[in-house]
Structures are given as C-alpha cells and as structure tokens.
Amino acid sequence: MRLSVTTHRKREVIDLTPLLSEQLPSGNGVLHIFTQHTQAAVALADLDPGTDVDLLDALDNLIPKLQWRHPHNPSHTPDHLLASLTGPSLGVPFEQEQFLLGTWQRIILIEFDGPRDRQIILTPLPGLAK
C-alpha cells in the first residue's frame, strides 16, 4: 500500500497516526512503515505543542559542523545524515484494526528537506497464529 504525504517546510514533523490508522487490516500483526527517501525519516514521538520544534532543534544540533564531501550539494549532508541516523522505517504492532500505541506515542514523519511529496510504503505483516 502506498501513501503520499506533502510537507510544507524545510524541516517539519508530521503526525502520521490518523492517516495510518485508517489503513490497518483486521487480524493482528505489525504494520511496517517505510519512507522511500534519503532526507526524511519515520519515528515515534511524544507530540505536545512545541515538542516538534524541540525535536528538530535537537537533531540540528546533533550533527557536528564539519567540511562535507557530498558532491551535489554539501549543505544537504546533515539532512542525509539525520535521515540515516533516525531511520526510514518502523514497525508498529496492531490488533483488531487499532495500533497498540502507548497513550503519548505518535507515529511521525520527519522532513529534513521539504517542502516535498514524500512516498510511504505500508506493509502489514501478520503475527504468528497461536
């Protein structure tokens, strides 16, 4: 299953939870979520007002300030590095068409070089029948 999500800023956190919840099949298993980009990531986060900016600020400050070799555009290197480090994929368990998320857990897309249309591949993996 493929979804497209439009981002609006250079860096942005988008809550995917409502959109992905609609795609859950019956049965139980794990929804595998994968974004097809090297400047975006999928993660879980606590989302309260301002925490999205906290996350983006922290990530920005995480990457050391070095001379980059990236041939196309060295200024994009931190975007690629953060995508590799945070990771493009995540598995979230579900049961009876509902995610088994904790109270504060939200599934997020992190955009590192928007605005863009970002492609997401969803693969429901069935749990072992008992």
Chain positions contacting a copy of itself, by CB under 8 A: 25, 27-30, 32, 34-39, 43-46, 48-51, 53-55, 57-58, 61-64, 66, 68-72, 77, 80-81, 83-93, 100-102, 104-105, 119, 121, 123-128
Q: How far is the CB of 14 from a copy of itself (least distance, A)?
A: 14
Are 112 and 83 contacting, i.e. CB atoms less than 8 angstroms apart?
Answer: yes
With the CA atoms of 112, 113, 117 and 118 taken in that order, what torsion angle do they form, in degrees rounded to the nearest 10?
Answer: -30
Closer CB to a copy of itself, 5 or 45, in the complex: 45
By beta-carbon proximity to a copy of itself, the closer residue of 10 and 46 is 46
Burial of 121 (C-beta count, 10 Å sphere; 0-12/13-18/19+): middle
| For a copy of itself, the closer CB: 19 or 105 | 105
Cα torsion at 45, 6, 1, 46 (round to 10°)? 10
